Structure 1
């Protein structure tokens, strides 16, 4: 995946994230919603303001979350998930267009409907049927986690600042005190 991703797409996605003045809002359907939550958690733990949003819940009254200074990042392997495409259409109906699609299908509806998209190439899934979202989940998760760490590094996040946002558990402890 890393050897075959279009670097210019990644550069533009990073720029969109850097310019975001509001929230980074990650969304997807099914296992991709779970990935969205994990990725948003990583971004937040690195002091990059992020949340995940359930697109189905948004369609049923939650569209008030979105503001023009937020960046909505939509995750879908196929780029054709009906609920996610409907959600993207609903965003357009409220004049919300600051969207970034993360997908593994060139020419998808999601890619065409987002302001920008990144094609994450996946050769096949790991199961014997080539159906279960295994390899695709790992690749998309790894890709988005790498963006988080790059942005945190660029922002100059220090170890002490990282520890301050993790007051529970051993991560938040001063390394001198845990020896």
Structure 2
């Protein structure tokens, strides 16, 4: 066990050192690479093989999620047709820690001859064959991998992954890509819940179940049945939401009065209904429903005007199930 702990701590320390050494990376060469990528007229195409390929895939996914047009291209597949992905004006980001990977150098050489592209190398050696073919080189300054045999890439892959994130950060300005843009690209899952606003998924207009205070109960039931939400809002003459009627309200009303003849919405509604603001997040709406123990919330704007309704089932279908 003592030897195990020693190996693990050795690996951890080498990876910490690798990340810390990246402070040296943020300089003239890094800025040159960023300018090449920013000033491109085409896409960002990322390539790498082996573990560097996985880092390239992750980088492409990160860039796309931040609104950049980026693709991963496997160098071997590229030599068999996938170069159709590349166009003039693209920037090619090539990962190879050794800088001597045959597949990477071959595809980079081909792309330079065939297309008008810029090459950014991310490598451990800026005097390597890959670096000499590139327009900009970002060096990964890793001396020791941290592998017990010092053979398997560990510290270098960690450092390369961080460099990929540094590039993504440098390319993404909050002034041009904010939370609303991010939400647009992440409509599902927990991110969608946190970022999407109620106004973006609520039912509006004629899809809302609504009646007036004086609406006969027979018509109230018809509205609830047609809209299939198990609820209807009740509006006053000035269009304010003054109450709601749920399936439960109808059952309780019938147990008390036996009939709905000559009864109107005002007689059966629950007053002071819970509402939610249209700019609230979907996650906030779900939390409110759980707190109030309801499955629907009517939505109001900043002037307290009724603008929509949101149902728990919609949220669960869209983001959870």
TM interval, short-chain normalised: over 0.9
Q: CA deviation at 1:95?
A: 4.0
Q: CA deviation at 1:56?
A: 0.3
For 1:128 and 1:5, locate their aligned partners in 2 and report how far apart those are by CA, in whole Å.
26
For 1:108 and 1:155, locate their aligned partners in 2 and report how far apart those are by CA, in whole Å.
37
Cross-structure match for 1:68: 88
TM value normalised by structure 2: 0.53
User: Which consecutive unaligned segments of at least 5 residues does structure 1 have?
Assistant: none
User: Is 1:42 paired with 2:42?
Assistant: no
TM value normalised by structure 1: 0.93
* Contact 2:90–2:117 under 8 Å retained in 1: no
User: Is 1:135 paired with 2:155?
Assistant: yes
Higher relative contact order (CA 8 A, sep 6+): 1
User: Is 1:168 paired with 2:205?
Assistant: no
Q: CA deviation at 1:97?
A: 3.9
Say which is worse superposed, 96-105 or 167-176, in terms of deviation.
167-176
Q: CA deviation at 1:86?
A: 1.1
Cross-structure match for 1:31: 51
Q: Cα 1:25–1:173, aligned 2, differ >3 Å: closer, same or farther? A: same
Match of 1:90 among 107, 110, 116: 110
Provide the aligned length of Structure 1 versus Structure 2.
Answer: 179
For 2:153 and 2:175, locate their aligned partners in 1 and report how far apart those are by CA, in whole Å.
33
Cross-structure match for 1:99: 119
Cross-structure match for 1:177: 282
Helix, strand or coil at the partner of 2:122: strand
Q: Cα 1:97–1:48, aligned 2, differ >3 Å: closer, same or farther? A: closer
For 1:126 and 1:163, locate their aligned partners in 2 and report how far apart those are by CA, in whole Å.
39
Cross-structure match for 2:16: none
- Structure with higher Rg: it is 2
User: Which consecutive unaligned segments of at least 5 residues does structure 2 have?
Assistant: 1-20, 196-280, 285-321
